[in-house]
Amino acid sequence: MISLSSLLHRGRASAAALALLACAAAAQTPLPGRPITLVVPYPPGGSADILARMVGERLGHQLGQTVVVENKAGAGTAIGAKAVADAAPDGHTLLLGTVSSQAINPAMTKVGYDPLRNFATVSPLASIPFVLVANPAAPMRSVAEVIAQAKAMPGAVGYASAGPGTSNHLAGELLASAAGVKLLHVPYRGSAPALADVLAGHVPLMFDLQSTAVPNIRTGKLKAIAVTGTQRSALLPEVPTVGESGLPGYEVSAWFGIFAPAGLPAPVLDKLGAAFAAILRTPEMEKRLRDLGAEPDTRSREAFDSYVRSEVSRYAGVVRSAGLAP
């Protein structure tokens, strides 16, 4: 005869087993059917926002779910990035992160999150190189001539940027450090006014995103000195890289990737990573990215994660050596 206590013990054991099975099933069922929010830490209309809407639409088709793009701008990308870092790690909140949100801004100021510990890397997306451009009247036509001018006139050769701590500001700091010269940083409130003053001849140089530089180069309003990627640009094949121009190893780009809150279960991470990889492999997406002046980033998630870690370390060093830390 089975005692009452034995039955109760068996009942508790069965309940515990069922609970474990339910937890395991939940862990193996990525992304229940509610909308995914893709947070963009910038205002609408910029490169990050356009990219988010392109991939968000295709992610929705890929997963059969609604993807909502939400702009959370402010504090130099910190507001949107922190909102994702603090979200539940269930795959329903993602960040379109950039070199600014994941590497530069955390090095420059207290952002309320750790770019490595508080995020899981989901997928690379794309990168846009910068072009070192000059006003046509400027005497410099090569990186060597920029360096020579800076050595002859320390701190007098100016370059415009979108503001302190922006990627085109730090592109100049990296070049100055690599060449052992001092350049004059001329910050503006955004890329548009900075570019306007270079076009007008008030500042001779600027590291401008390829996507906005190319039209002005083709019409002769600017002259291209060098591109900042590791390889020559398909849009400007005749323009050398900074690395080719006497500073080997120099590389700066505005890169974009997808990040999730740390602790995202492996099945969800794998499913999302595979979905983004499939999106980036389509000829249509490749064409649309290149039309934006961007290069598709098809490296593995692991390789991109390693690259992000190296960028966090590199920009922390640049900010320290340039005296830009708070």
Structural domain boundaries in the chain: 36-127+255-321, 129-227
Q: What is the Cα–Cα distance from 10 to 14, expressed in whole angstroms?
A: 6
* pLDDT on residue 324: 83
* Residue 271 pLDDT > 60: yes
pLDDT band at 13 (very low <50, low <70, confident <90, very high): very low
> Which of 90, 124, 150 is closest to 253 using CA atoms?
124
* Residue 148 pLDDT > 90: yes
* pLDDT on residue 130: 96
> Which of 157, 99, 109 is closest to 307 using CA atoms?
99
> How does pLDDT run across 197-230, given as a tens digit for each residue?
999 999 999 999 998 999 999 999 999 999 999 9
Q: Looking at the domain 129-227, which fold is it? A: D-Maltodextrin-Binding Protein; domain 2 (3.40.190)
* pLDDT on residue 326: 66
Please provide residue 234's backbone torsions phi and psi, each rounded to the nearest 5 degrees: -65, -25
* pLDDT on residue 32: 58
Name the amino acid, one letter, at 94. Answer: L
* pLDDT on residue 154: 95
Percent of the residues in the chain that have a pLDDT greater than 70, as a whole number: 89
Q: What is the DSSP letter of 241?
A: B
Q: What is the Cα–Cα distance from 42 to 75, expressed in whole angstroms?
A: 10
CA 325 to chain centre: 20
Q: What is the Cα–Cα distance from 282 to 141, expressed in whole angstroms?
A: 38
Strands (E), the chain: 36-40, 67-71, 93-98, 119-134, 158-161, 184-187, 205-209, 223-227, 253-261, 295-296
Is 129-227 the same fold as 36-127+255-321? yes
Residues 233-242 have a mean pLDDT of: 95
> How does pLDDT run across 71-108, given as a tens digit for each residue?
999 998 999 999 999 999 999 999 999 999 999 999 99
Residue appearing with tokens 């890329």: 191
> How does pLDDT run across 40-58, given as a tens digit for each residue?
999 998 889 999 999 999 9
* pLDDT on residue 30: 57
Q: What is the Cα–Cα distance from 152 to 264, expressed in whole angstroms?
A: 54
Q: What is the Cα–Cα distance from 36 to 52, expressed in whole angstroms?
A: 12
* pLDDT on residue 321: 85
> How does pLDDT run across 117-137, given as a tens digit for each residue?
999 999 999 999 999 999 999
Residues 282-291 have a mean pLDDT of: 92
* pLDDT on residue 315: 94
> How does pLDDT run across 15-45, given as a tens digit for each residue?
444 434 434 433 444 565 689 999 999 999 8
Q: What is the Cα–Cα distance from 235 to 86, expressed in whole angstroms?
A: 40
* pLDDT on residue 179: 96
Residue 235: half-sphere exposure toward Cβ, Cα within 13 Å: 26
Is the domain covering 36-127+255-321 a CATH 3.40.190.150 domain? yes
Q: What is the Cα–Cα distance from 240 to 249, expressed in whole angstroms?
A: 13
Mean pLDDT of the chain: 90
* pLDDT on residue 42: 92
pLDDT band at 190 (very low <50, low <70, confident <90, very high): confident
Report the 10 Å Cβ neighbour count for 245.
20
CB 94 within 8 A of CB 259: yes
Name the amino acid, one letter, at 206. Answer: M
Residue appearing with tokens 């320390």: 154
Q: What is the Cα–Cα distance from 67 to 276, expressed in whole angstroms?
A: 13
